[in-house]
Amino acid sequence: MKQNSKKNYVITSLALYFTYFIHGIGASILGQYKPQFAKVWGATVGSDGTVDVSMVVSVIAALGLGRLISLPFSGPISDKFGRKLSGMIGVICYVIFFFGIAFSPSMGIAYAFAIVGGIANSFLDTCVSPTCMEIYVNNPSIANLFTKFSMCISQFLLPFFIGMVAAANMSYRTIFLVAGIAILIDGVLILLLPFPAREKKSGEKQEKSKVKLTKVSLAAVLIGFTSSSTFMLWLNCNQELGRAYGMTDSSAIQSFYALGTATAVLATAFFIKKGLKEIDILILYPAISTVMLGLCFLIQAPWICLIGGFVIGYAGAGGVLQLATSTTATFFPENKGTATSMVMIASSIANYTIISLASYITKTGGAAAPRMILLLNMGVTIVGILLALYVKKNKK
């Protein structure tokens, strides 16, 4: 029966994974068009022609603020009123985000639309992951990993989309509009497709037991902050680093980053299946990221940015946040939803605070700003290693 049920919902799962394909574009496209938006929003242009893009980095940070605002509500809405409603809210918010950002005349208006984009991400999180795990009941971990894989594909293809738009002399707004229309059409499909019925357990009341944070579980939650900081800082600030190191096409870094992330999702799933523990990966991968960030700081050459893109994509973004979530959930076996929310809230705080700090460094650091952000990233990532070591030592 489970096999037949799964077959009935394959199209539903594909439609849901497609929302994460679009989300992959939404999470990184502003970082690819920073100079264009900065000019429209009235940024200052230096005597050498460089544009102050700090306001765009601040708008990117607002995506994290939107997630932070909505995460406490999106989960309960999904649980109480259904996954489909949560998904539709996410789709509608993303349509508003793409069209709103594309035509924002000022940073203030764009900031508001970015908050809506963060809300979209939050509601998709509480729809897509649980629904796909409920569809593929025999392989829930793999089902959840494919949300990340869907994002990897779009982030890998994004530079090619950007190149096609540039070659056709189309507006920088083109990809925003196409993405908005695509997720709107997908939303109509999701509205019409069947969703799996959720079984209510007789012992459901037991899941409302109090959640008590210990020092060890709090450390696991905080890995959500550090792991998100590692890849968000790189994802949104690598363009300036590439240009500072003399790259003519710094958008290529994005493709290497996405390729690394996709490789990591598949490799990490294989390693875990072979017996490597999640907590060991939470130590190993950030250690690799730290070394790579250090090399990017020391070696000021275009090629190091491409290698850095792949390695940070692999070790920084290739499922570390998801493993932090699953590790935290082991501390709260009866409150996995709450555990997930706590890690995602930590992730959202990182998105907002760390990217805002990067915006300040970009504004005040001048030509040295990209390398200063590398040092910031190294510092935060090292903290993540220390947290993981603490969890491994004290986890029973």
- pLDDT given for residue 52 in this prediction: 80
Grouping H, G, I as helix, E, B as strand and the rest as coil, residue 51 is strand
Architecture per CATH, domain 1-197, reads as Up-down Bundle (1.20)
- Cβ neighbors of 379 (< 8 A, separation 6 or more) are none
User: What does the alpha-carbon distance between residue 199 and residue 83 come to, in Å, rounded to a whole number?
Assistant: 13
User: What does the alpha-carbon distance between residue 207 and residue 160 come to, in Å, rounded to a whole number?
Assistant: 47
CA atoms within 13 A on the CB side of 239: 19
Q: Is 346:227 a contact under the CB 8 Å cutoff?
A: no
Q: Is 227:320 a contact under the CB 8 Å cutoff?
A: yes
- Give residue 239's identity as a one-letter amino acid code: Q
Residue 112, Cβ density class (10 Å: 0-12 exposed, 13-18 middle, ≥19 buried): middle
Q: Which of 85, 252, 226 is nearest to 160 (CA)?
A: 252
Q: What are the structural domain ranges in the chain?
A: 1-197, 212-396
- pLDDT given for residue 164 in this prediction: 93
Q: Which of 302, 310, 318, 286 is nearest to 247 (CA)?
A: 302
Q: Which one-letter DSSP state was computed for residue 199? A: P
- pLDDT given for residue 207 in this prediction: 46
User: What does the alpha-carbon distance between residue 304 and residue 245 come to, in Å, rounded to a whole number?
Assistant: 9
- pLDDT given for residue 4 in this prediction: 39
User: What does the alpha-carbon distance between residue 358 and residue 341 come to, in Å, rounded to a whole number?
Assistant: 25
For residue 335, which phi and psi values (nearest 5 degrees)? -140, 50
At CA 25, angle to CA 23 and CA 26, rounded to 5? 60
Enter the pTM of the model: 0.76
- pLDDT given for residue 7 in this prediction: 57
Tens-of-pLDDT digits for all 396 residues of the chain? 343 355 578 899 999 999 999 998 998 888 888 888 988 898 777 666 677 888 888 898 888 889 888 988 887 788 778 889 999 999 999 999 999 999 999 999 999 999 999 999 989 988 887 788 778 877 666 677 778 788 888 878 888 899 899 999 999 899 999 999 999 999 999 999 999 876 555 444 444 556 678 899 999 999 999 999 999 899 878 888 998 999 888 878 878 988 898 899 889 888 887 888 889 999 999 999 999 999 999 999 999 999 999 999 999 988 788 788 778 877 876 666 667 778 888 988 887 888 889 888 988 888 889 999 999 999 999 999 999 999 999 876
User: What does the alpha-carbon distance between residue 254 and residue 241 come to, in Å, rounded to a whole number?
Assistant: 12
- pLDDT given for residue 206 in this prediction: 45
- pLDDT given for residue 204 in this prediction: 46
Other Cβ atoms within 10 Å of 72 Cβ, number: 11
What topology is assigned to 212-396 in CATH?
Answer: Growth Hormone; Chain: A; (1.20.1250)
Note the Cα 105 to chain centre separation in Å. Answer: 26
Q: Is 229:355 a contact under the CB 8 Å cutoff?
A: no
